[in-house]
């Protein structure tokens, strides 16, 4: 497994330049600057490279183990978790209202990428805990905040999200786990939950499960669901830990990847839980956590993809192969045209993802909720689908060595494959996008987005540089295709099967377009430099490459969208 | 692991109808008919489903093991191999000149798919043995034919291909293994070969290695290479087995997939070998085997992809999820629009690959060597790249269960990933295509191909059916884009870096177009039916889906090709 180098320069550039202003200063009213945020990123990167990255390979090889009802992580994970907490990286995620640092979303995007790039399996523990912090901060009573939220923010306990059951995956309305009220105000929870990420482990003293369950006489379907916290160990009135709650880890899954992240089957047998929010308000409460987790998947996609890229680029720089074309024998394969194509293909997508992570974080920071929430399913769907392909390209760069597990490239390909599935499949994201966020308002938010892209195109038209001109021309055609595709989609509004049959291609179209827009903003920012900076030429090449190799997919996808359901 | 159902109906249709005539009767001068060939396919399918498919999962879980210098396959593999030989399936691959059955290439394409679909790891043993049979049939002396070829055709011994060395992968000119002549006419071979598929095993009594090595005073580079056979056990004059040759299995690789196929590091220490063909003619001789293996990768891609599809379709048919859109609770997910999209996406690509496998086999049968060899790199490159994506879609259909190894979907995803790498990476295929087969003749063969597609379009224009009209319209635009892309490519002829930087996109463009053509031929064949047959509607839907979802990629790729190298 190659070492990890955090992309500090990119974050400095994104925070300070790409979006036309210092977005960190804007988000914090001047409390923090882009430079401050970059220092935070650099610190996180140093921690991640030295503490988390070295454990990624052992996490994969040894994985989590279930012994006598207790899950154990490989040697080093508990120490790393403690160091992570001690360095304040959990509190860095938490809002001020919950006792955290209240960092801007744009900064948390960078941190999220770094945790995931250095060790995606470990980062899931952070992701779930962070998501639960946001959910409890939004909905929990003062008592629950005092007992649970403070311990999550301090990192003493970790959090999980308990939704899925054997017959209730995508369809949460089918959840059958029951919560029965008790005389003391607590609830007795019974049922089985599956696919519970970090559902048990030995790296922290307690685990807080956030559980969707059905109350007696609740209406059928999703409206009958309520939200509960249920700890692994019960909490005494003085805050110390009491007996083990009636939650058993029945099994852990034998998975394709992320072996260092224990995926548990949990059995609840009249386990003690506490209601969060109102009875029947479970889905609304869980959506806070899910939105956080879905945005977080953008960071995971960027992180895993970048690690795969670093692995591939490192290999290609040192692997010598003989005479190809005009090169003498012994040229690094990175300079062979097709390997260079693969590396640029990876890097140009990764930069687009990274920029979109920051942009969406900034939208939340600016409370532009409509546009921010419009982007959540695009970010989750598009980045995770593309990241799988990037990890596949990473293997291809290695040739035969990529297929050998010891090389390390294959782990990223295996780890990445879950991303388009968990936290809502790409189909679920696309249903959210087209149903709630496009058709419901007649495409108003899409038009707002396309108008913003038009502004960038107009800006590029004023710049003399050939890359600016090419980027403007390509992006203009891509916007036209996106408008056509949106009209096609709206034309299907009365035909739900047609909509659902082309919603994923439509989501991928908008994601691909957004990536092109991020590169267009980059071109403008680079050309604003009075004297050429070190990475400027490389940034222009990435933008140009994205425009020639990735953006044209918009045209193919627009044609697909226009077809509706086939047969 | 799901059961395996051979696609017998598709082969009957392809052999008898799609290409406008009974191609089997044409290839054999009437000795065999499409019906006869379909019976062979059905028999192979029955054998594969009952003997080979049940071993696929244990091959993955247990894998090949190296103990004290000997490789062992899991229980059942040796028996399966013996049954395979006894049933005549090795002889079925061999030409008549080598004592085999001399079946048409179009039939061998079907057999190849079936072996690979049922058990890709096992099928590699067949693939390499078959390839060596063709190579020795083309180049070996009578003595070598008598001693080695007969034993390969009878299935008593298996064959391997020894090219790669630690510093000579893509660049065969860097091979350093030495062959020194001995007084008795044999050669002493010394060096190390890596990535040797089925390089050692316990399923047959002897193994014949076909080895590229350098002779003393040979010129540098590829021209200095000669070809040798070197057996695992030396062969006595009476044909019985003698001492072990000085070839040691140093290690086997720990791979991402195809665990049932032993990938060996072999050390040659003055091992005894025998020259095949002329000194310095090694690469030409090995190309026979490589061409056979590359065509065979089309069969492997189709097979692995179809097995992934069958797994996904089977799961989607029985997995019930709740109310989605207008469906009542408990509808199989196969009917959910996006799952249906994924399944059609997989199936429409697989059919296109299968048809192209047969078409290229038939080109060889018709001795249309120029067009057949034009298609070899396209078949190898395009089908293997697409197959990886199909296995990824197969996981997606399963949702979370797809990430759990016991489900079986993940194995196909892991197995498939080597295909775009071995037998020459996609970049190597694309260099072969654009260098030798497009630029060298000024695009004449491409024009020949596009002319054939034009004929099919003209035929579809005469048919009233809306799918015929849509298919013709889409294909016509795709042909236009392909002509433009070919002009772009030819325009770069003086700039090798530009050519090499867009050769893979160009190959993918032609593969995607060829897939659309195969579906167009299918539409014409279906509409020629006087009364509707059972599968006709499904075949039209697949063609229509391919035209709406896959063929439009041609336009994106044409834009990419036009850009040349970026930066």
Q: What is the mean pLDDT of residues B387-397?
A: 98
Q: Parallel, antiparallel, or unpaired for β A206-214 and A157-162?
A: parallel
Q: Is A347 helix (H, G, I), strand (E, B) or coil?
A: helix
Confidence of residue B327 (pLDDT cuts 50, 70, 90): low
Q: Around Cβ B458, how many Cβ atoms within 10 Å?
A: 11
Chain A residue numbers touching B170 (CB-CB < 8 A): 321, 399
Q: Does domain B157-280 have CATH number 2.40.110.20?
A: yes
Stretch 377-396 of chain B: residues touching chain A, C-beta under 8 Å:
388, 392, 395-396
The 10s digit of each residue's pLDDT in A105-127 is: 999 999 999 999 999 999 999 99
Tell me if chain A has a CB within 8 Å of the CB of B336.
yes
- Are A552 and B548 an interchain contact pair (Cβ–Cβ within 8 Å)? no
Contacts with A564 (C-beta within 8 Å, 6 or more apart), sequence order:
A488, A492, A495, A498, A501, A502
Nearest to A567 among B320, B541, B559 (CB): B541
Query: What digits encode the pLDDT tens for the residues A236-281?
Result: 999 999 999 999 999 999 999 999 999 999 999 999 999 999 999 9
Which CATH number is B8-138's, of 3.40.50.150, 3.40.630.30, 1.10.10.10, 1.10.540.10?
Answer: 1.10.540.10
All residues at 6 or more sequence positions from B193 whose CB lies less than 8 Å from its CB, including other chains:
B162, B163, B164, B165, B177, B199, B211, B265, B266, B268
**Rounded distance between C-alpha atoms, residue B536 and residue A102, angstroms:** 61
Nearest to A541 among B430, B560, B566 (CB): B566
How far lies A83's CA from each of A50, A80, A88, A163, in Å? 11, 5, 9, 30
Is the CB of residue A172 less than 8 Å from the CB of residue A225? Answer: yes
- Mean pLDDT over residues B26-50, rounded? 98
Q: What is the set of active-site residues of A?
A: 423
Query: Domain A8-64+72-138 is in which class?
Result: mainly alpha
- Residue A324's pLDDT is 52
Percent share of chain B, pLDDT over 90: 93
The Cα–Cα gap between A263 and A66 comes to 10
B465 interface with A at CB cutoff 8 Å: no
Given an 8 Å threshold on Cβ–Cβ distance, is B567 in contact with A396? Answer: no
**Residue of A195, A324, A556 with shortest CB distance to B552:** A556
**pLDDT tens sequence across A87-105:** 999 999 999 999 999 999 9
pTM: 0.97
Is the Cβ pair A173, B497 closer than 8 Å? no
Q: Give SS3 for B551.
A: coil
Q: For residues B169-188, give the mean pLDDT.
A: 93
User: Cβ of B404 under 8 Å from any chain A Cβ?
Assistant: yes
Over residues B268-282, the mean pLDDT reads: 96
pLDDT tens by residue, A137-168 = 999 999 999 999 999 999 999 999 999 999 88
Per-residue pLDDT, A96:
95
Phi/psi at A265 (5° precision): -100, 120
Q: Give the residue-averaged pLDDT of B463-470.
A: 97
CA separation, residue B424 to residues A406, B169, B170, B420, B473 (Å): 22, 9, 7, 8, 35
Q: How far is A24 from chain B (nearest CA, A)?
A: 32
Confidence of residue A326 (pLDDT cuts 50, 70, 90): low
CA atoms of A365 and B528, how far apart (whole Å)? 62
Q: Is the Cβ pair B400, A417 closer than 8 Å?
A: no
What is the secondary structure of B119-185 as a DSSP string? -HHHHHHHHHHHHHHHHHHHH--HHHIIIIIHHHHTTSEEEEEE--BTTBSS-GGG---EEEE-TTS
Chain A contact for B322 (CB, 8 A cutoff)? yes
* pLDDT at residue B495 is higher than 70: yes
Q: Tell me: the pLDDT tens digits for B285-296?
A: 888 888 889 999
DSSP 8-state secondary structure symbol assigned to residue A73: P
**To the nearest whole angstrom, how far is the Cα of B318 from the nearest Cα of chain A?**
12
Strand, coil or helix: B338? helix
Quick one: closest CA in B to A165, which residue?
Answer: B400
How far apart are the CA of A502 and the nearest CA of chain B, in angstroms? 8
DSSP string, A243-275: EEPSEEEEEE--BSS-TTS-EEEEEEEEEEEEE
CB A299 within 8 A of CB A379: no
- Please check the confidence at residue B178 and state whether its pLDDT lies above 60: yes
pLDDT of residue B1: 52
Kindly determine whether residue A170 and residue B344, on different chains, have CB atoms separated by under 8 Å: no
Instruction: Reply yes or no on whether the pLDDT at A554 is more than 90.
Output: yes
Per CB-CB distance under 8 Å, the chain A contacts of B338 are 427, 430, 500-501, 503-504
Model confidence at A171, pLDDT cuts 50, 70, 90, reads confident
Tokens, residue B45: 């399918």
If you average pLDDT over residues B110-128, what whole number do you get? Answer: 97
Q: A-B interface: how many C-beta pairs under 8 angstroms?
A: 216
- pLDDT bin (cut points 50, 70, 90) of residue B168 is confident
Which residues on neighbouring strands pair with residue A440, listed in sequence order?
Answer: none
Interface predicted TM-score of the whole assembly (ipTM), two decimals: 0.97
pLDDT at B553 over 60: yes
A166 close contact with B: CB closer than 8 A: no
Query: pLDDT tens-digit profile of A4-52?
Result: 999 999 999 999 999 999 999 999 999 999 999 999 999 999 999 999 9
Angle at B93 between CA B89 and CA B98, to 5 degrees: 115
pLDDT of residue B288: 83
Which residue would you say has higher pLDDT here, A534 or B305? B305
CB A105 within 8 A of CB A365: yes
Sign of CA dihedral B423, B425, B429, B431: negative
Residue A367 to chain B, least CA–CA distance (Å): 32
Residues of B whose CB is below 8 A from A537: 567
Q: Which of the four pLDDT bands, split at 50, 70 and 90, describes residue A325?
A: low
Euclidean distance between CA atoms B320 and B557, whole angstroms: 38
- Could you identify the residue written with the tokens 């697909």? A560
In the block, residue with structure tokens 């059928």: A220
**What mean pLDDT is reported for chain B?**
96
**Where residue B103 falls among pLDDT bands split at 50, 70, 90?**
very high
Whether the pLDDT of residue A393 is over 60: the answer is yes
Q: For residue A549, what is the nearest residue in chain B, using CA coordinates? A: B560
pLDDT in tens, A328-386: 557 899 999 999 999 999 999 999 999 999 999 999 999 999 999 999 999 999 999 99
B407 has pLDDT over 90: yes
- Which of A341, A414, A426 lies closest to B501 in CB terms? A341
pLDDT category of residue B270 using cuts at 50, 70 and 90: very high
* Residue count (chain B): 567
Domain boundaries, chain A: 8-64+72-138
Q: Say whether B392 and A388 touch across the interface (CB within 8 A).
A: yes
Closest chain B residue by Cα to residue A547: B560
Is B143 assigned a catalytic role?
no
Q: Residue A226: beta bridge partners?
A: A213
């Amino acid at each position: 497994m190659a070492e990890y180098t955090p992309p500090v320069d990119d974050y400095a550039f994104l925070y300070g330049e790409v979006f036309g202003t210092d977005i960190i200063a804007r988000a914090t009213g001047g409390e923090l600057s882009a430079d401050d945020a970059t220092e935070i990123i650099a610190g996180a990167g140093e921690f991640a490279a030295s503490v988390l990255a070295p454990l990624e390979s052992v996490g994969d090889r040894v994985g989590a183990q279930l012994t006598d009802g207790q899950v154990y992580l490989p040697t080093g994970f508990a120490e790393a978790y403690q160091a992570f907490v001690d360095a304040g990286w959990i509190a860095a995620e938490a809002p001020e209202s919950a006792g955290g640092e209240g960092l801007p979303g744009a900064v948390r995007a960078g941190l999220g990428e770094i945790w995931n790039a250095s060790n995606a399996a470990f980062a899931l523990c952070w992701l779930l805990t962070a998501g639960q912090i946001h959910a409890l901060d939004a909905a929990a009573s003062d008592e629950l905040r005092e007992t649970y939220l403070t311990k999550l923010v301090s990192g003493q306990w970790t959090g999980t999200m308990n939704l899925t059951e054997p017959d209730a995956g995508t369809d949460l309305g089918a959840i059958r786990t029951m919560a029965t009220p008790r005389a003391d105000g607590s609830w007795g929870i019974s049922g089985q939950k599956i696919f519970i990420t970090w559902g048990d482990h030995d790296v922290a003293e307690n685990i807080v499960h956030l559980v969707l369950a059905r109350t007696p006489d609740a209406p059928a379907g999703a409206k009958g669901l309520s939200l509960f916290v249920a700890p692994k160990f019960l909490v005494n009135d003085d805050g110390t830990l009491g007996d083990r709650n009636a939650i058993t880890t029945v099994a852990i899954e034998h998975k394709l990847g992320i072996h260092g992240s224990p995926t548990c089957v949990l059995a609840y047998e009249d386990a003690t839980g506490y209601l969060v929010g109102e009875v029947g308000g479970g889905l609304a409460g869980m959506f806070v956590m899910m939105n956080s987790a879905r945005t977080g998947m953008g960071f995971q996609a960027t992180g895993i993809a970048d690690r795969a890229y670093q692995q591939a680029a490192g290999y290609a720089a040192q692997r010598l192969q003989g005479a190809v074309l005009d090169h003498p024998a012994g040229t690094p394969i990175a300079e062979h045209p097709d390997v260079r194509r693969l590396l640029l293909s990876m890097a140009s997508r990764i930069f687009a993802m990274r920029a979109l992570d920051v942009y969406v974080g900034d939208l939340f920071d600016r409370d532009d909720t409509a546009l921010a929430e419009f982007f959540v399913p695009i970010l989750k769907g598009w980045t995770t689908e593309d990241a799988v392909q990037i990890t596949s390209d990473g293997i291809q760069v290695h040739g035969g060595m990529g297929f050998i597990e010891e090389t390390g490239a294959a782990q990223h390909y295996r780890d990445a494959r879950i991303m388009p599935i968990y936290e809502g499949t790409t189909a679920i994201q696309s249903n959210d996008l087209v149903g709630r966020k496009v058709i419901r308002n007649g495409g108003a938010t899409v038009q707002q987005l396309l108008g913003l892209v038009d502004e960038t195109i107009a800006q590029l038209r004023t710049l003399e540089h050939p890359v600016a001109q090419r980027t403007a021309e390509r992006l203009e055609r891509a916007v036209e295709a996106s408008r056509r595709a949106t009209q096609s989609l709206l034309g299907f509004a009365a035909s739900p099967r047609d909509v659902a049959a082309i919603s994923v291609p439509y989501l991928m179209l908008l994601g691909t377009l957004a990536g092109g827009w991020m590169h267009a903003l980059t071109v403008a920012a680079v050309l604003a430099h009075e004297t050429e900076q070190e990475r400027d030429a490389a940034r222009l090449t990435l933008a140009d490459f994205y425009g020639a190799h990735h953006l044209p997919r918009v045209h193919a996808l627009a044609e697909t969208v226009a077809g509706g359901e086939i047969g």
